[in-house]
Amino acid sequence: MDEAQIKKERMRAKAQWQLLKLELRSGKATEQQVQEAQLVWERIGQYTYVPPTPTLAELPLLPETSEMKTLLVELERQRAVIDVKKRHVSMRLQTVPASRPCPELTKEILDYRAQWEELGDTIQYVRRYGHLPSQEPEDQEVGFPVNYAEDLPRDKWELDRMMKNMAINVNHRWPKLMAKAKTMSKKAEYKKRIAIGTAQYEVMKALFITI
């Protein structure tokens, strides 16, 4: 639920509690029903909205440095060249009768398409991390905002919910998406996201035991 939904549910729960208190006086509700409605209202009142863990598409992009701009321009140029080549082969294929098999042209188009997609994912990787996937040091320290721990909720229930969500992401969801990724750049991005998510989980766990 977002903040607007939480507020709406809180108002609805309070109205239901007030209604049952009135019905208790007229014998239409029981004391237990009133107490349960009050607990629901109090529980919703304790709920704090926590934004969901961002997907790769929602991850922030880095400010472009001169080196990044130079690299991105070159990658965009390569992608444009591949696109032109792919369109030329597609036009050649259109001149061939539909009844005539053309495995060579079809394979050439698919190869260009794969290269085009790879460059697109590489461009997104550079925009998020500032370098090519192939330039990622194996022993690089995982980094995320220095105020990450400060922004975490101090409510144990909320933090537990975030930890469970992150555990699902780093142990199940993202590894599956990485395995299904069609390009090496996308696989590298999920690998990096898993590393960052794992480090964030450890920060949340350390905070959890202090609350």
Residue 129 has pLDDT above 90, yes or no: no
Please check whether residues 85 and 30 belong to one and the same domain: no
The answer to whether residue 50 is domain-embedded is no
Please check whether residue 51 lies inside any domain of the structure.
Answer: no
pLDDT of residue 41: 75
Mean pLDDT of 122-126: 91
| 109 and 190 together in one domain | yes
Cα–Cα dist 124/132, whole Å: 10
Q: Indicate whether 41 and 113 sit together in one domain.
A: no
- The count of domains in the chain is 2
* pLDDT attached to residue 56: 54
Residues 148, 153, 154, 156: is their CA dihedral positive or negative?
negative
Q: Are 30 and 123 members of one domain?
A: no
Residue 128 near residue 61, CB atoms below 8 Å: yes
Together in a domain, 22 and 61: no
Counting residues of the chain whose pLDDT is more than 70, the rounded percentage is 84
Place of tokens 């794992």: 198
d(CA 169, CA 46): 26
Residues 108, 19 share a domain = no
Q: What angle do CA 168, 174, 178 make, to 5 degrees?
A: 155
Query: What is the sign, positive or negative, of the torsion defined by CA atoms of 41, 42, 45, 49?
Result: negative
Helices (H), 95-183: 103-129, 148-151, 156-168, 174-180
Q: Kindly state whether residues 88 and 165 are assigned to the same domain.
A: yes
Residue 107, both tokens: 């394979």
pLDDT digits (tens, 9 = 90+) for 52-85: 555 555 566 677 788 889 999 999 999 999 999 9
Question: Is residue 88 included in any domain, yes or no?
Answer: yes
pLDDT for 50? 53
| Shared-domain flag, residues 78 and 167 | yes
Burial class (CB in 10 A: 0-12, 13-18, 19+), 105: middle
Residue 199 lies in a domain: yes
Q: Which candidate, 50, 56, 60, 57, places its Cα nearest to that of 162?
A: 50
Query: 9 with 95, same domain?
Result: no
Average of per-residue pLDDT across 186-198: 90
Domain annotation covers residue 203:
yes
Residue 33's domain comprises 3-45
Contacts of 195 (CB under 8 A, 6+ apart): 142
What does the pLDDT look like over 156-176, one tens digit per residue? 888 888 899 999 999 999 999
- The rounded distance, in Å, linking the Cα atoms of 110 and 115 is 9
**35 and 75 share a domain?**
no
Closest CA to 178 of 133, 135, 141: 133
